[in-house]
Amino acid sequence: MSLWKDKNSQEKKECKERRRKFLLAVADKPLKIQIDKYFGVIGREFEAINKEFEAYKVENSKLSPFLHLKSIDAKIEKNIESTVESSQYYVVFDESLSKNKKKQYKDALVRNELDNWYEKLKIRFYITTEWIMEDWANKNNLDYVDYNEISPFSPQDCKLDGVDIDVKTTVSIGSYHGLPYFTRNNQVVKDEVQVAITSSVPKSDDKYSHHFILGIFDSSKYELINLDLNFLSIDSHLKNPCYFHPLQDYFFSSYQYEDMDYDKDVIEYWLQSKNITAIAYSISNPLGYFENALKSKIGEVHHGLITIVLELISKKSLYLLPHYFADYLIQKIQKKENIEINLKDTIFSIYKPNEHQEVYIDNLFKLFEILPKVRCKWHPEEGIRDMEIKFIDGHIPTFQAVCSQDPEKQTTIYTYSWKTGQTLIYSSEFICSSPECGGLTHKRKDYESKQMKIYCKASCNKFGREAHKSKFS
């Protein structure tokens, strides 16, 4: 510092000019060299370094956009954390709920004359999740109308910020997992806006319950999207977690950032080490460099996914990506096509799904892994290449391998248990021993007898629903 003070004005001027020339030379280098060779040596924060460029009136066309991306990335991470935090509810039924909701619960019990503990629990969860919606609305300063206060038979549960909503939930108890969200009425499926909330208790009589707001489904959000859904149709009666996107993205413009034209160098460097999301939400034109960058991360066999990503980015609808990605994977499974190991990580770097969506997609990847091991139950010499794969989108979504010699015979390779709700994935040791059945079995301790029992699909004559009623009850 003293050396600088001792310099005369001419010397200071020359030093500044040398520094300015140095900064000009640095700014002209690729971003990676700037960061690794120059900024790393300096050991200062990027923001401080950028201020020095500004002080010397040297434009760094690579550093400024990089800092812009860093800022967006931090905001996105903060929003994700906030979304997860605001979606979690730990409820003590007798203490947490409003007086109005407690009254609705008591009235529902009287109205239905219920003595069954399971039905009581279902009503408790329905009432609790309706209260959660009201609480979420109040915390976010949104107008809320409780339709169930007006009429317990209202087709919708509430109006949130002018939107009529039906609140749907699952019932999970201990190791029993509630089945995916199901709607019976055809017209409701097409027109109704739904919010899905998971509900679980450790034990049936536990006063504590845990709930997670999966998100909202509104078919109108798909109207401008020029993409097909081949298996997970928006008109499906069944809705898995991938159908629902965050309430924040629906009711608020969570990602409003200035569109920018990024240098190729900046995009390439960012994509090497960072999530794609920040670019996706701020790029002026998703084509060009961005498309090429995605091609470098996604192999040619999956370039169809790039079309999906670019379309959703251009329509500011990236929150729909888990739905389209799950549909894409199901199509790949049905066609018995290979997938890249790192594909999931790449897609999740573009848009981060919630934990329930991630589990659903993870299970599809597990199914890919076991396909080469699949054999026909009745003809073990038949492998998966000899058989068609059938996808059944019903109350319990199911994949079956169809016997090439007798199409009436199917070996189940992926489904949910009617008894526990858990996901079941093919293994030769879990194929049903009944000569007529190609279902998947699993074991579970019986609640009353405390004995381990074998369960298969509901229609199985040996281990199905009716068999357990007649033989094991």
pLDDT digits (tens, 9 = 90+) for 268-295: 888 776 678 888 878 777 666 778 778 8
Are residues 405 and 457 located together in one domain of the fold?
yes
Burial 42-53 (b: 16+ CB within 10 A, else e): eeeeeeebbeeb
Domain for residue 459, yes or no?
A: yes
> Are residues 387 and 321 part of one domain?
no
> Does 426 lie in the same domain as 459?
yes
Give every CB contact of residue 315 below 8 A, 6+ residues apart in sequence: 224, 225
Quote the CA–CA distance of 383 and 154 in Å, as a whole number. Answer: 51
pLDDT the model gives residue 395: 64
- pLDDT recorded at residue 287: 63
Would residue 92 count as lying in a domain?
yes
Query: Nearest-CA neighbor of 447 among 472, 471, 430, 425?
Result: 472
Q: Which pLDDT does position 5 carry in this prediction?
A: 56
Whether 318 and 335 share a structural domain = yes
In angstroms, rounded to a whole number, what is the distance separating the alpha carbons of residues 367 and 279?
32
Buried b (16+ CB within 10 A) or exposed e, 273-311: eebbbbbbbbbeebeebbeebbeebbeeebeebbebbbb
Same domain, 271 and 350: yes
Question: Tens digit of pLDDT per residue, the chain (473 long)?
Answer: 455 555 567 777 888 888 888 888 888 888 888 888 777 655 557 888 888 888 888 888 888 888 888 888 888 888 888 888 999 999 988 788 888 998 998 888 888 776 788 888 888 999 999 999 999 999 999 999 999 988 888 888 999 999 999 999 988 888 788 877 877 777 777 789 999 999 999 988 888 999 999 999 999 999 999 999 999 999 888 899 999 999 988 998 766 677 777 888 888 888 776 678 888 878 777 666 778 778 878 888 898 899 999 899 888 889 999 999 999 999 999 999 888 878 998 898 888 899 999 999 999 999 999 999 999 999 999 999 999 999 987 666 799 999 999 999 999 999 989 888 889 999 999 999 999 999 999 998 876 777 889 999 999 999 998 888 765 44
Q: Would the CA dihedral through 418, 419, 423, 426 be positive or negative?
A: negative
Query: Residue 45's domain spans which residues?
Result: 2-60
Q: Choose one of 335, 365, 395: the last residue of a domain.
A: 365
Residue 98 shares a structural domain with residue 147: yes
Type of residue numbered 431: I
* pLDDT of amino acid 472: 42
Could you tell me if residue 14 is inside a domain? yes
Is residue 248 within 8 Å of 83, Cβ to Cβ?
A: yes
| Within-domain flag for 253 | no
Does the residue 69 lie in any domain?
no
Helix segments in 7-116, DSSP class H: 9-27, 31-33, 40-42, 46-55, 63-87, 93-96, 99-112
Name the domain count of the chain.
4
Same domain, 187 and 109: yes
Confidence (pTM): 0.88
Give the separation between CA 416 and CA 259, rounded to whole angstroms: 44
Domain C-terminal end among 338, 365, 392: 365
In a domain, residue 341? The reply is yes
In the numeric block, which tokens belong to residue 303?
């370039």
Say yes or no: 165 and 285 in one domain: no
The full length of the chain comes to 473
Q: Where are the beta strands (DSSP E) in 218-343?
A: 238-239
Q: Are residues 424 and 350 in the same domain?
A: no
The alpha carbons of the chain give a radius of gyration, in whole angstroms, of: 28
Residue 409 falls inside a structural domain: yes
User: Quick one: 42 and 126 in the same domain?
Assistant: no
Residue 178: CB atoms within 10 Å = 16
Do 168 and 280 have their domain in common? no
Question: Are 354 and 385 within one domain?
Answer: no
Tell me, yes or no, whether 227 lies in a domain.
Answer: no
